[in-house]
Copies of this chain bind each other. A is one copy, B any other.
C-alpha cells in the first residue's frame, strides 16, 4: 500500500501550526510579530496556536526586553525539530505515493 497517513503528526495539521514550524525551521528565532506577518493571522489566533505548540514542547519561548519593550522570541525545540522532520517526511512520502 502506497498511501499512508501514518507518521503525520496531529500537532502540525493546521495550516497555521504547519506555518509556524516551517518558518521556525528556516529562521532560527522569531518574535511574535514576525510570525504574525509571515502567517497573516490575528494576534489571538496566532497566540493560541503558539500555546498549543508550546504545550507539546515543540517550540520554546524566550522573553526579553528590547528598548524597554517586551519581546518574545520563539524557537523550535529539539523534540520539535525531530517531530516536524518526521511529519515532513511522512508528507513527502504521501505526495510521492500519489504522483507515482
Interface size on A, residues (CB 8 A): 26
The answer to the question of A94 belonging to the interface, with a C-beta cut-off of 8 Å to chain B, is yes
Query: Shortest CB–CB separation between residue A88 and chain B, in angstroms?
Result: 6
Q: Assess whether A95 is interfacial by the CB under 8 Å rule.
A: yes
- Check A97–B22 contact: CB distance below 8 A: yes
Chain B residues near A29: list those with CB within 8 A: none
Main secondary structure of the interface of A (DSSP, over half): helix
Task: Give A68 to B3 CA distance when docked, in angstroms.
Answer: 31
* Extra contacts besides A5-B22, A13-B14 (13): CB < 8 Å: A1-B38, A3-B22, A3-B23, A3-B26, A5-B18, A5-B19, A8-B18, A10-B15, A25-B98, A26-B97, A26-B98, A88-B98, A91-B95
Sample (22) of A-B pairs whose CB atoms are under 8 Å apart:
A1-B38, A3-B19, A3-B22, A3-B23, A3-B26, A3-B38, A5-B16, A5-B19, A5-B39, A8-B18, A10-B15, A13-B13, A13-B14, A13-B15, A18-B94, A22-B94, A22-B98, A25-B98, A26-B98, A88-B95, A88-B98, A88-B99
